[in-house]
Amino acid sequence: MSARTLPLLFLNLGGEMLYILDQRLRAQSIPREKARKDEWTDVDRKRVMNDIIATMFNKKFLEELFKPQDLYSKKALRTVYDRLAHASIMRLNQASMDKLYDLMTMAFKYQVLLCPRPRDILLVTFNHLDAIKDFISDSPGILNQVDETFRQLIDTYNCLSDGEFQLIRQTLLIFFQDMHIRVSIFLKDKVQNSNGRFVLPISGPVPWGTEVPGLIRIFNHKGVEVKRAEFTTAGNYITPQREGSFELYGDRVLKLGTNMYSVTRPVETHVSGSSKNLASQAKENIAPNPLAKEELNFLARLLGGLDIQKPAGGETGFRLNLFTTDEEEEHAAQTRPEELSYKVINIEATQEPGRRAELSRILGELEVAEPRPGSAEKGEDLLALMDGL
């Protein structure tokens, strides 16, 4: 497995999370002059996006993230996004958080599968970061944080060989291999089967630097072409006009990683009926792992500085529902198969003397927004994760 995969996985999943949250927040926003105190406004949406992006691109956090290391387990990575999604006034209950994570993971899995070249995973990441910059275009401080991450990606990954990118791609596919969750957008576009597996196209542009299939050339021992033979192919292939830009600014050409929720349509997930692989993997994750304690200790160091301040006066925060109605959300929580559920990981980081100070030094003290006065009606859900740190 590649030790350079984690930053790409984190940033791309984070980008998909921001796409979904932005779409749902826009759908539920009410003009400020007409909104009641328990309703979202566009001001609230911008505040949530700014808070989450500022936390996601915190300099100290990314310095730790970019150090060569193995991928987190699925449960540990899910804990990171639980924490990240609640880094603002927004609150998601367990069913909505499950749905959010399902959409994130399946979208990025599809993008990895479709990448023409392993190196194009970097272009997918740049597409996500380009879109994130649009979200915070009026916040220069946060924009600078994203640009710094851009430069770090360029410095770290542009020099890697094609073989190293192939290893990164294989590491990502191993991470996603047993995840087959049905998503309505993919089902409607007929790019996903009813069992949750993706349908890969046999036509379209070939990878940059390669030729359209259909010709066999034969060379002699001196390297001179002596014969040609043509053959027919099942697909319709085209040669790309140019390579996508791997610089800070430029045309990425590749569209994978752009916001598929920019077109208004419902966002739903359905659990695949075929889940034997997921069930077996869930049992495997329950088995004792001698490295689990060390992994969680490192995770605690990464997350320790992201302190969510307790709202004053018993207030909580704005609640966001990723389902159409509260009844759908409650039903999803009750019917979700056990093998698809993610148990919250509680990390106790306060028992050792000086532990909190150490964690604070790693990430620094981040200012996390508190709900405004009168916002208690906007949500009551706060994951147990918050109490464990």
For the segment 250-278, the average pLDDT, to the nearest whole number, is: 66
In a domain, 222, yes or no: no
Instruction: Give the per-residue pLDDT at 79.
Output: 87
For the segment 2-14, the average pLDDT, to the nearest whole number, is: 94
In a domain, 379, yes or no: no
In a domain, 113, yes or no: yes
- Would you place residue 198 in the very low, low, confident or very high pLDDT band (cuts 50, 70, 90)? very high
Query: Residues, the chain, total?
Result: 389
The stretches of the chain forming alpha helices (DSSP H) are 6-28, 42-56, 59-65, 74-85, 94-114, 120-135, 140-157, 162-176, 184-188, 276-286, 292-303, 326-335, 355-363, 384-388
Share of residues in the chain with pLDDT > 70 (%):
65
Mind giving me the DSSP string for 92-161? --HHHHHHHHHHHHHHHHHHHHH-SSTTHHHHHHHHHHHHHHHHTTT-HHHHHHHHHHHHHHHHHHTT--
* Run of H or E residues at 311: none
- What whole-number distance in Å separates Cα of residue 146 and Cα of residue 133? 7
Instruction: Give the per-residue pLDDT at 278.
Output: 43
The lowest-confidence range among 142-151, 184-193, 285-294, 372-381 is: 372-381
For the segment 31-52, the average pLDDT, to the nearest whole number, is: 78
Give the residue with greater pLDDT, 353 vs 219: 219
Residue type, 105: T
> Hey, how many other C-beta atoms are within 10 angstroms of the C-beta on 239?
11
- DSSP assigned state of 376: G
Give the chain's mean pLDDT: 76
In a domain, 380, yes or no: no
Instruction: Give the per-residue pLDDT at 348.
Output: 39
Contacts of 310 (CB under 8 A, 6+ apart): none
Give the residue with greater pLDDT, 51 vs 276: 51
pLDDT at 376 over 70: no
- Would you place residue 370 in the very low, low, confident or very high pLDDT band (cuts 50, 70, 90)? very low
- What whole-number distance in Å separates Cα of residue 10 and Cα of residue 175? 12
pLDDT at 228 over 70: yes
Instruction: Give the per-residue pLDDT at 204.
Output: 87
Positions of E strands within 162-301 = 182-183, 204-205, 215-219, 225-230, 237-238, 269-270
Instruction: Give the per-residue pLDDT at 142.
Output: 94
Share of residues in the chain with pLDDT > 90 (%):
42
The lowest-confidence range among 143-157, 162-176, 213-227, 329-343 is: 329-343
For the segment 189-206, the average pLDDT, to the nearest whole number, is: 90
Instruction: Give the per-residue pLDDT at 305.
Output: 45
Instruction: Give the per-residue pLDDT at 353.
Output: 41
In a domain, 383, yes or no: no
For the segment 95-110, the average pLDDT, to the nearest whole number, is: 92
Instruction: Give the per-residue pLDDT at 355.
Output: 37
- Would you place residue 72 in the very low, low, confident or very high pLDDT band (cuts 50, 70, 90)? confident
> Hey, how many other C-beta atoms are within 10 angstroms of the C-beta on 96?
21
- Would you place residue 341 in the very low, low, confident or very high pLDDT band (cuts 50, 70, 90)? low
In a domain, 357, yes or no: no
Q: What angle separates helix 162-176 from helix 94-114, to the nearest 10 degrees?
A: 140
Structural domain count, the chain:
1
pLDDT at 16 over 60: yes
Instruction: Give the per-residue pLDDT at 317.
Output: 58
- What whole-number distance in Å separates Cα of residue 337 and Cα of residue 358? 39
CA distance to 76, 248, 355, per residue, from 387 (Å):
16, 39, 16
Give the residue with greater pLDDT, 184 vs 111: 111
User: Structural domain of residue 191, as residue ranges?
Assistant: 5-201+245-263+292-340
In a domain, 82, yes or no: yes
Q: Write out the two tokens for 254.
A: 């590749």
Instruction: Give the per-residue pLDDT at 226.
Output: 95
In a domain, 320, yes or no: yes
Give the residue with greater pLDDT, 303 vs 53: 53
Residue 280 C-alpha from the chain's centroid:
24
- What whole-number distance in Å separates Cα of residue 124 and Cα of residue 116? 11
For the segment 221-248, the average pLDDT, to the nearest whole number, is: 91
Residue 376 C-alpha from the chain's centroid:
29
pTM: 0.72
Please state whether 130 falls in left (phi above 0), alpha (psi between -120 and 50) or beta: alpha
